[in-house]
Structure 1
Amino acid sequence: MKLIKINPENPETAKIEMAREILRQGGTIVYPTDTVYGLAANIFHEKAVLKVYQMKKRLKNKPISVCLSQIQDIKTVAQLDPDLENIVQKILPGPYTLILNKKDNLQSRVTAGTDKIGIRIPNNVICRELSRKFPITTTSANISGHPSPTSARKAQKELDDKPDIILDSGPCSDGISSTVVDLTVTPSRIIREGAGMEKLLSIIK
C-alpha cells in the first residue's frame, strides 16, 4: 500500500485522477474528510464494496454511507423533496451524514438491504473531487468498533496494507465523526452526535 502526500487545499489533479481510476477499476483507497479518514470504494462496484466490509470486519447488516461531490448529486441516489432540500442546502458541505430514502439504483450491499441511505458531502475538496465522477463509500478507515483514525498514519496502522493507496493530507480538521441525522422521519432524529451539532440543531429544531 502506497502512502501519497496530497495538498489539502489544492489537491494535485494527477493524484486525484490516479486515485479515481483505482476506484473505477474496483480498488479501495483511504482518504481524508472534514471529520476523520475514510475508506473509499466505487459504490456501483459490488466486489469493491464487499472489500470494504471485509477490511473493516463490518457486519453485513450494517449499511455504509455514500460520499457525493455536490448537493445536486443527491437526487441520483436518494429521494429529496423541496422541504428536505432546503435543509440540505443549509448544512452541506459539512460534517453531517444525512439519512434519506434511497433510489432503486443502489445495490443492496451498500444499504444492507434497507430502503435508506446515508449521504455525506464533506467540507473537504479532496473527497468531493474523488466522488465527482461516481459516488464512493465513506466509512471510517478502521476496524469496526475501533477509534476512527484522524491521520493517514493511524489509518495505515489500522488497516495494514489492505487498501491500494492512502491519500495523506495531514490531520483531519474536526477529528471526530460526523453527526448522523435521520431526515426520513418527522421530526428529524439525531442518531449519532458528532461534529457540527450546534449548527444542525439550530436548523432542524
Structure 2
Amino acid sequence: MDLDAAVAAVREGRAVVYPTETVYGLGADATDTAAVEGVFDLKDRPREKPLSLAVPDVDAALEHTRPTDRAERFMRRFLPGPVTVVVERRPTLPAALTAGRDRVGVRVPDHDVALSLLDRTPPLTATSANRSGSPSVTRVAELDGRVREGAAVVLDGGETPGTESTVVDPDRGVVHRRGAMADEIDAWLQAEQ
C-alpha cells in the first residue's frame, strides 16, 4: 500500500481510492474546486448531488464547518464511526462540493488506512468509489474501470463491511439515510431533544 503516493496525488489535485469502515471511498482535496469537479466526473455524478467531507477528527471538521453545540456533541459522540453528520459549512469549502448548499456532510472514518491518509492531506471528498447509480465497492476488484483508471492511487485495505454510513442532521433530528448504528443514533436524537 503506497500511502506516500496517495498523499502526493491528493496534493497534486488528483483523486485516490481509499478503504473505510463502510465501503471504499473516492477522495480528492475537498477544498479545491477542480479536484472536487474531477470526482464528480469520475463518478458520473449529477452536480446537484453534494459530496461529503472526510477529516481525521472532529477538531479538523470544525476548521471547515460551523456546527451548533448540539451537532458538535453529536459529532463527538459518534465520530469516528460509520456516520455522516450534516452541519453548516464554512466558506473554505467550495460550492461545488455541496451543490451550492450551506450545509455539508462530515465523515471521520473509523479505519486506520483512511485516518492515516487524512492525517497527511487536506480534507478529502467522502463519497463511495463507484460510478453513480452502481453498487458501492467493498473490494478493490469491484472497482469500475473508469474509476480505477481515473484514480491516481488505489489503497487496498482488503474487503470492507459494506454497510453504508447513516446520514443524519442532528439539529433537525432527521436521519436522511439509515445505515450503520441507525438505532443508536435514533436513541441519541430522542434523548437529546
TM range (shorter): over 0.9
Letter in 2 for 1:194: G
Aligned residues of 1:37 and 1:155 also touching (Cα < 8 A): no
Q: Does residue 108 of the first structure (1) align with residue 103 of the second (2)?
A: no
Query: CA offset at residue 22 of structure 1?
Result: 0.6
Moved over 6 A (4+): none
Q: RMSD over aligned Cα, in angstroms?
A: 1.4
1:177 paired residue among 164, 171, 178:
164
Segments of 5+ residues of structure 1 without an aligned counterpart are: 1-5, 7-14
Which residue in the other structure is 1:164 paired with? 152
Which residue in the other structure is 1:144 paired with? 132
Aligned to 1:49, what secondary structure does the other structure show? helix
CA distance in 2 between counterparts of 1:30 and 1:190 reads 27
TM-score w.r.t. length of structure 1:
0.87
Query: CA offset at residue 74 of structure 1?
Result: 1.4
Aligned to 1:118, what secondary structure does the other structure show? strand
Which residue in the other structure is 2:33 paired with? 46
Q: Greater shift after overlay, 131-140 or 154-163? A: 154-163
**CA distances 1:120-162 after superposition (whole Å, capped 9, x unpaired):** 0011121122122310001001111110011111125462411
CA distance in 2 between counterparts of 1:86 and 1:48 reads 31
Aligned residues of 2:6 and 2:152 also touching (Cα < 8 A): no
Which residue in the other structure is 2:83 paired with? 96
CA distance in 2 between counterparts of 1:162 and 1:138 reads 16
Segments of 5+ residues of structure 2 without an aligned counterpart are: none
Which residue in the other structure is 2:11 paired with? 24
Identity %: 31
1:196 paired residue among 178, 181, 184:
181
Aligned length: 189
